[in-house]
Each structure stands twice: as structure tokens, then as C-alpha cells.
Amino acid sequence: MKNKFRISLIPMIALISSSLLLSLTYFQGKNWVVPDASKKMKNPVAATADNLKSGKALYAKNCKSCHGTTGKGDGTKSKDLNTPCGDFADKGFQAQTDGAIFYKIKEGREDMPSFKKSITEDNDIWTLVNYVRTFGVGTKPVEDPKKPADDPKKPADDPKKPADDPKKPNDKPVVGKKDSAMVVIDTTSAPEKTQIEQVLKQYEKALNSSDTVAIAALYTSDGVYIPANGATAIGTAQIKASYKQLFNSSTMNEKYSLEEIRQVGDIAIIRATFKGERTFLGFNQKISEENRELILLKKVNGNWKIYRCMSN
Ligand code: HEC
């Protein structure tokens, strides 16, 4: 009897550990570490119209089956993979340096094949880097920072834009999205509005000066930060690491505008929009962006601190 019991346990343990492994693999898919030296590599190939044409051909031959025609990760083979292919239009993806993307294409990981042997010319890989950049319409470089990003004339003269697919879902820039929600600032429901807004001002200042230490100090020790394109950070150490990662790839020059502020005892509820410019360091380009933030503050020892912050 005892033996029988033991035998039936084995497949159970195998099942549990394999599903654990699966979820672990998925988690790792979000955290692909690229060596610093590779991140800093400069792209020697210019994204001219001719080069992008070659990139498109290379992509169709080697990448489309998994990553899909528009880079959304919905190619015919994608359903048979254990790891999602990701979305090349994603801001987080586009925020990477050319060197990081080059490294990933060359080395591969898990279901993403290494192209070291099949694409032997480094310049062909750089050509592919240029081509996958074209999927990032939302992070399209704003050549003239003074020119509004949603200038209707703009898309027509962008040489990077693949002009041949009118159905392409990425065509609408994500930047400049408007929040049409009603503005509710009811001061009677937030008697400590001034102190509460002070935290928002400090947060804005710390974001614009890439000051990780100042930001971490604004949070409670058990605070939670939920960035738009990254893992949830819980507690001071993770929060610091998460903002550090953000500031490593970009700098910000943004202003908040308040949409709602309410106070329920020692908790304050804030909705705000952060609007301005973000410069992607690796990409060396500025984009206009507008993020909506939902922030909960908690009063700890008489001071308002960020308790939860979610950005999208
Ligand atoms: C067999 C399917 C497959 C093919 C073919 C393929 N990829 Fe991938 N690719 C993946 C998967 C799956 C991932 C996610 C891997 C991970 O996160 O561990 C990935 C990830 C990537 C990444 C990293 C994405 C990120 O979020 O940083 C890049 C860049 C990339 N692929 C480019 C390419 C290019 C360029 C080609 C063609 C030369 C190509 N891939 C061909 C499946 C594929």
C-alpha cells in the first residue's frame, strides 16, 4: 500500500514542478539580461529607405513566422511556442538600445533562435534592428521637439514608416492619448490637499531629475509601484531598482496635472496625468508622451507617502 502511494506521488510532483518551471520561464522572458558592453554597441548601419527594404526582406524570411507581419508576435508559428514573442511596438521594447536588440537577435534565448550561424553578417543583424524599429510607431522619434507629435503632416515624411501596409494596426500613435474623464477636485473631501499635492510635486521633480533615491524616499517602505511596461515592484529595494532601470534607458521632462484628489482618513486617492517629453538614451530620440497615474498615498507618522502607484 505504501509503495503504491509513493508511485502516484511521483507524477504529481513532476506535474507541479513542470508547471512551476513554465511560469518561471515566462517570468524570465520579461527579464532578458544584456551585458553592458553589448547595450552600448553603436549601430553602424543607417536606416535608409534601401536598408529598410533589405530589413523587410530579411525579416520576412527569418522572423515573420513567429513575430508576425506587424511585429505583434502573432506569426503562424507563435502558437506552438512556450514563450510569447513580445510586441515590437511596445514602448518598453523600443526603449532598449540598438545594441541590446542586436545582442538578442544574435544570441537568442529559449524559443527565440540564435541567428549567429544563419545570419553571419553583423550588418544584416543591424539591418534587422533598423527594421524592427519601424514597428515602434508609438515611440516614433520626434525630430523637431517643438513640433507637436500628432502633427498630421508628420507620418507622411517619416522615412522609417513602412508605407505599404494600410491595415497595419500600429499606425495610430499611442502618444498624445487624451483622458476624457471628468476633472474632480473636491477640496472638501481632501482637507489636506496642499500636503498631498506637495508629494506629487516632489515626485514630479524626482522623475525629471532621474533621482532614484528621492523617489524611493517618497514611498512607504511597503509601497508598490506598477509601471506600464515592467514588473510590479514591491518594497524599497525593488522600487529603487525599477526606477533605476527606467532612468537608465530614458530621462523625462514632464509635468503633472491633477484630475482627482480625495482623502479617506489616512489614505488619499489621486488621479493625475504626466505629460511631456521623454528622451530614450540608447535611441537618442525624444518622444512626447502622456501617462495616466493612479496614486494612493498613506499618512505615516504625520507624513503623506506614496503607498501604491500605477502608471499606464
Ligand atoms: C521560432 C520563433 C522565432 C523566430 C523565427 C524569431 N523569434 Fe524572436 N523571439 C521569439 C520568442 C519566443 C521571443 C521571446 C524570447 C524570450 O523572451 O525568452 C523572441 C524575442 C525576440 C527579441 C527580444 C524581444 C524583447 O522583448 O526584448 C527580439 C529583438 C527578436 N526576438 C527578434 C527577432 C528577429 C529579428 C528574428 C528574425 C531574424 C526573430 N526574432 C526570429 C521567437 C522567434
Determine whether 306 is exposed, middle or buried from the number of CB atoms within 10 Å of its CB (0-12, 13-18, 19+).
buried
pLDDT of residue 210: 92
Nearest-angstrom CA–CA distance, 141 and 301: 45
All domains of the chain, ordered by start, with CATH?
A: 35-169 (1.10.760.10), 184-311 (3.10.450.50)
- CA 137 – ligand 1 centroid, Å: 19
Stretch 100-104: mean pLDDT, rounded? 97
Nearest-angstrom CA–CA distance, 25 and 4: 33
Determine whether 124 is exposed, middle or buried from the number of CB atoms within 10 Å of its CB (0-12, 13-18, 19+).
middle
- CA 67 – ligand 1 centroid, Å: 7
The closest residue, in CA terms, to atom 23 on ligand 1 is: 104
pLDDT of residue 77: 95
How far apart are the two ends of the chain, measured CA to CA in Å?
56
Sheet holding 184-185, edge to edge: 184-185, 250-264, 267-280, 285-300, 303-311, 219-226, 233-234
Closest by alpha carbon to 54, among 121, 145, 138, 137?
A: 121
The closest residue, in CA terms, to atom 15 on ligand 1 is: 112
Position 141 confidence tier, pLDDT thresholds 50, 70, 90: very low
The closest residue, in CA terms, to atom 2 on ligand 1 is: 66
- The pTM for the full model equals 0.47
pLDDT score of 54 more than 90: yes
Q: Which residue has the cell 522572458?
A: 29
pLDDT of residue 6: 53
More confident residue, 158 or 302: 302
pLDDT score of 170 more than 50: no
The closest residue, in CA terms, to atom 22 on ligand 1 is: 104
pLDDT exceeding 70 applies to what percent of the chain?
72
Counting from 1 in the atom list of ligand 1, the atom nearest the Cα of 32 is 17
Q: Which residues form the pocket of ligand 1, taking CB atoms under 6 Å from any ligand atom?
A: 29, 32, 62-63, 65-67, 77, 81, 83, 85-86, 93, 101, 104-105, 109-113, 115, 128, 132
Nearest-angstrom CA–CA distance, 252 and 289: 10
Position 288 confidence tier, pLDDT thresholds 50, 70, 90: confident
The closest residue, in CA terms, to atom 29 on ligand 1 is: 101
- As a dihedral over the C-alpha atoms of residue 104, residue 107, residue 112, residue 118, rounded to 10 degrees, the angle is 120
Stretch 26-32: mean pLDDT, rounded? 57
Position 100 confidence tier, pLDDT thresholds 50, 70, 90: very high
CB 99 within 8 A of CB 40: yes
Nearest-angstrom CA–CA distance, 231 and 18: 23
Stretch 202-207: mean pLDDT, rounded? 94
Residue from 34, 38, 66, 126 whose mutation best tests the ligand 1 pocket (most atoms within 8 A of CB): 66
pLDDT of residue 137: 59
The closest residue, in CA terms, to atom 34 on ligand 1 is: 63
